[in-house]
Structure 1
Amino acid sequence: MPTLLALDASSSACSAALLHRRDGAEDRLISRFALTPREHTRRLLPMVDEVLAEAGITPGELDAVAYGRGPGSFTGLRIAAGVAQGLAYGLNRPLIGISTLEALALCAHRRHQCEHVMTAMDARMGEIYVAAWRCHRGRTEALAPEAVMSPDRLRLPEGDDQRGWVGVGSGWALWDGMSPAVQAGVGQCFSDLEPAAEEMVQLAAHAFAAGEGGAAHEVQPVYLRDQVAWQKSR
């Protein structure tokens, strides 16, 4: 098991998580999470210091760094990207960008055993960031690509409209603006869940094992603002 650090500041929450194994023991996950609107710059680095200190390791023992690459708050994404890129560059370690929407799906799966998840984050300006996922045994599979759109344009993936969908993320607070078909197909919502590094570090472990990750200067945040079409999965 590699030693991985993940950071996130893509929403009103700020978080850091460390996944590692020492001396043949079981995998250990250490995390910090706080709802800290407009305080990400002040809180993120201390969280990193805390999880490293609790694990008893130094930054040099990290195998890779991951961060919430978006979509999400423009300012928050830049903060997390800057910190993660600085760490990865200084340590000469690969940097892994993790989808905030995928992290939300995994969170719902881990906490509530959800299988078919529609993740939606409030994108402001009357829009939401959305994606659809199938979750099984701690893994996620994308059923529709990430997109940004107005709530009334959201549709369930073609052929999967009878799955008993669960809505996850702040975008579901805009429920009243969604179509009757979506409202009928989504049986439960968890609009209070926020993306978190705890799920991102686990997704990063799978990505690292698959050889993903790149040089610090090559990994960029994903904003989605120039992608306005919802493409149904084929």
Structure 2
Amino acid sequence: MKILALDTTSGACSVALISDGQLIERFVQAERDHTRRLLPMLDDVLAEAGIKLAGLDALAVSRGPGSFTGLRIAISSVQGLAYAADLPVVPVSSLAALALGARRSHPDWGKSPVVAMLDARMQQVYWGVYSSDSPCDSLIPEAVQNPEEVLLSLKKSEICTPIYGAGPGLHYEAFEGASLAAVDQASLIHARDIAQLAVPLWEQGHTVTAEELEPVYLRNEVTWKKRQKIRS
């Protein structure tokens, strides 16, 4: 099994390949340099593995939520690659990948739920909660909300504690008093975690074609405003 994953969701750019148990990744923090860096990193990963694009089983990509521009760069790149090599695509939640990466960096968190948050601007965050038993799916539907709404949703939920927090969205002052066991605001999305999550999804047949691949923004008005600006 050979799955190549790409991510440009937020402030980092990364490419990773899982090939028959081997993992190769290129990762760099380059918030405004994704377009220039992404394809050369992809070429480096494939060259190191000695694999050509047509030799892959699937491509994987962060489907969002996240930066409008960042999502479009990775998704449009994957669409072009999938068209060229006639490959299926595995869309993976950026928040699920963020949670998995944080759990990987903090083995002491054990199997406890992880709430993953990305800054959505406008005093809101994209967020979801992920367990080790079902790392691809949020225990609460992924949403974009202000911090107070997030805390209220967590309070009303029946998710077992302790709960850990990961991601830059946790920088808001309202989360300082949250009953989270520990927080890692510096957590970033890595393509290696997208690839890892893509494996069981691919095995279960959760793939789409290049034409079917669509970003998940959660906040519809972001898309509308961007499109209006482009049209004007």
Q: If the length of structure 1 is used for normalisation, what is the TM-score?
A: 0.88
Is the 8 Å Cα contact of residues 92 and 136 (structure 2) preserved in structure 1? Answer: no
Aligned to 2:229: none
1:177 maps onto 2:174 in alignment? yes
- Of 121, 138, 143, the residue aligned with 1:142 is 138
- 1:33-112 equivalences under 5 Å are 33-112=27-106
Equivalences, count: 215
Post-superposition Cα deviations, 1:178-222, rounded to whole Å, max 9, x if no partner, equal 485xx1x21210110111101000111111100110111101010
AA of the residue aligned to 1:167? G
Question: Counterpart of 1:142 in 2: which secondary structure?
Answer: coil
Is the 8 Å Cα contact of residues 7 and 15 (structure 2) preserved in structure 1? Answer: yes
Is the 8 Å Cα contact of residues 105 and 140 (structure 1) preserved in structure 2? Answer: no
Deviation at 1:17, TM superposition (A): 0.2
Whichever structure has more strand as a proportion of its residues is 1
- Of 203, 206, 220, the residue aligned with 2:200 is 206
Question: Counterpart of 1:82 in 2: which secondary structure?
Answer: helix
AA of the residue aligned to 2:16? A
Aligned to 1:152: 148
Deviation at 1:12, TM superposition (A): 0.5
Aligned to 2:119: 122
1:3 maps onto 2:40 in alignment? no
Question: Counterpart of 1:144 in 2: which secondary structure?
Answer: coil
AA of the residue aligned to 1:20? S
1:132 maps onto 2:129 in alignment? yes
Q: 1:140 to 1:88 in 2, by over 3 A?
A: closer
**Aligned Cα root-mean-square deviation (Å):** 1.6
Aligned to 2:226: none
1:165 maps onto 2:159 in alignment? no
Question: Counterpart of 2:211 in 1: which secondary structure?
Answer: helix
- 4+ aligned runs moved over 4 Å, structure 1: 138-141
Q: Percent identity at matched positions?
A: 42
Separation of aligned partners in 1, 2:135 and 2:185: 21
Question: Counterpart of 2:32 in 1: which secondary structure?
Answer: coil
AA of the residue aligned to 1:12? G
Separation of aligned partners in 1, 2:175 and 2:99: 20
Aligned to 2:228: none
AA of the residue aligned to 1:158? S
Task: Indicate the larger mover: 189-198 or 141-150.
Answer: 141-150
